[in-house]
């Protein structure tokens, strides 16, 4: 007497958190927060993908975890590039001296 509907697997919470932190890593990369948020998102996405793979189909969200992992890495790289760009292009802030 089944209802004919299959239950969808629940989405792993770490996958959702990885996606959110990955998006924040890219959005906040100008403020160099991606240096912290990016690796956290990537690690959470990696762990989530392992948990989803080991669950034998009872937990879903593998694509969310993968996108969070990728966005975390991209946010980290953008933050590092922005940091080095800002560090090497410092302005003196003063008036130039006449020669």
Q: Over the chain (99 residues), what is each successive 10-residue block's mean pLDDT?
A: 74 95 94 93 96 92 96 96 90 63
In 3-state terms the chain splits into helix, strand, coil percentages (rounded to 5) of 65, 5, 30
pLDDT of residue 73: 97
> Residue 8, exposed/middle/buried by CB under 10 A (0-12, 13-18, 19+)?
exposed
pLDDT of residue 9: 85
The C-alpha atoms of residue 76 and residue 92 are separated, in whole angstroms, by 28
SS3 at position 52: helix
pLDDT of residue 46: 97
For residue 73, give both structure tokens: 């890495």
pLDDT of residue 95: 62
pLDDT of residue 26: 95
Question: Which one, of 60, 63, 42, lies nearest residue 51 by Cα?
Answer: 60
Model's pTM, two decimal places?
A: 0.82
């Amino acid at each position: 007497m089944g209802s004919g509907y299959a239950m969808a697997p629940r989405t792993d919470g770490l996958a959702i958190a990885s996606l959110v932190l990955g998006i924040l890593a890219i959005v906040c990369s100008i403020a160099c927060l991606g240096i912290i948020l990016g690796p956290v998102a990537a690690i959470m996405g990696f762990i989530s993908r392992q948990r989803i793979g080991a669950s034998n189909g009872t937990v879903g969200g593998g694509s969310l975890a993968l996108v969070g992992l990728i966005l975390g890495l991209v946010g980290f790289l953008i933050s590092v590039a922005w940091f080095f760009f800002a560090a090497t292009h410092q302005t003196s802030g003063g008036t130039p001296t006449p020669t």
